[in-house]
Structure 1
Amino acid sequence: MVVQELLTVATEGRGTYEITDRIQEVVRNAGCRVGTCHVFQHHTSASLIVTENADPTVRRDLETIAERLAPDGDPAYRHDLEGPDDMAAHIRSVLTSTEVTLPVSEGRCVLGTWQGVYLWEHRYAGFRRRVTVTVQGE
């Protein structure tokens, strides 16, 4: 059995947006008891991460490190068509990931106690990000 659903995640600018519950709902509706759930976001200036979901300072610290690794407006960047956060957003996306694959057991994605799945928006402007969730199993 394979089920695929397209989600839209509205962002309000740079930051993390938890999508765990929406992914779990797709798995639940698919009726998959055991298998895999693949999550892919369709953009080059956002990413997907699995990280701590209890303490928001973890995600703030991740943003701090991302700012050090890929600062906005670096004069070395040639690509700045959409503003000073443009190339930095692309770099942050490449350093993280556009997809995650999660095991499915007993009808839900298997995550650790403090883990959540987040769309990480790397641009300052808000966007409507597309995320494809594919569930495969039995």
Structure 2
Amino acid sequence: MYHARDLTVSTRGRGFHDITSEVQRAIQDSGVRQGLCTVFLHHTSASLILCENADPDVRRDLEAFFARLVKDGDSLFQHDAEGPDDMPAHVRTVLTQNSLSIPIQNGAADLGTWQGLYVWEHRTSPHRRRVTVSVLG
């Protein structure tokens, strides 16, 4: 059995947007009890992460690390067609991921106790991001 659902995530600019409940709902609605869920983000300046969801300091620390690693407006980058955060957003995406595979057990994503699924917006302005949740079982 195969089931797919598109989600639209409206971001407020750079930061994390929890999509765990929407993905769980897509799995539940599919009727699949055992299988595999693939979550795919259709963009090159945002990413998907599986991250700790209990302490928001973890996500703040990730953002601080990436801000130091890939600086907006760095003179190293030539691609700045959409502003100083353009190429840094692409680099951040390449260093992370735009697809996740999650096992399904008993009709739900088999996540660890402290795991959550997030769209990580790398641009400083708000965007609408398309995410496809595919369920196979």
The bucket for the TM-score relative to the shorter chain is over 0.9
The answer for the alignment partner of 2:88 in structure 1 is: 88
The answer for the alignment partner of 2:33 in structure 1 is: 33
- Give 1:133's aligned amino acid: V
Unaligned runs of 5+ in 1: none
**Deviating 4+ runs (over 2 angstroms):** none
After superposition, where does 1:1-138 map in structure 2 within 5 Å? Answer: 1-137=1-137
| Deviations 1:75-126, CA, capped at 9 Å, x for gaps | 0100000000000000000000001000000000000100000000000000
Hey, what's the Cα distance between the residues in 1 that align with 2:27 and 2:2? 11
Displacement of 1:30: 0.2
- Count of residue pairs brought into register by the alignment: 137
Displacement of 1:68: 1.5
Displacement of 1:21: 0.2
Displacement of 1:7: 0.5
Q: TM-score, normalised by structure 1?
A: 0.98
Hey, what's the Cα distance between the residues in 2 that align with 1:87 and 1:56? 26
Identity %, equivalent residues:
55
Q: TM-score, normalised by structure 2?
A: 0.99
Displacement of 1:41: 0.3
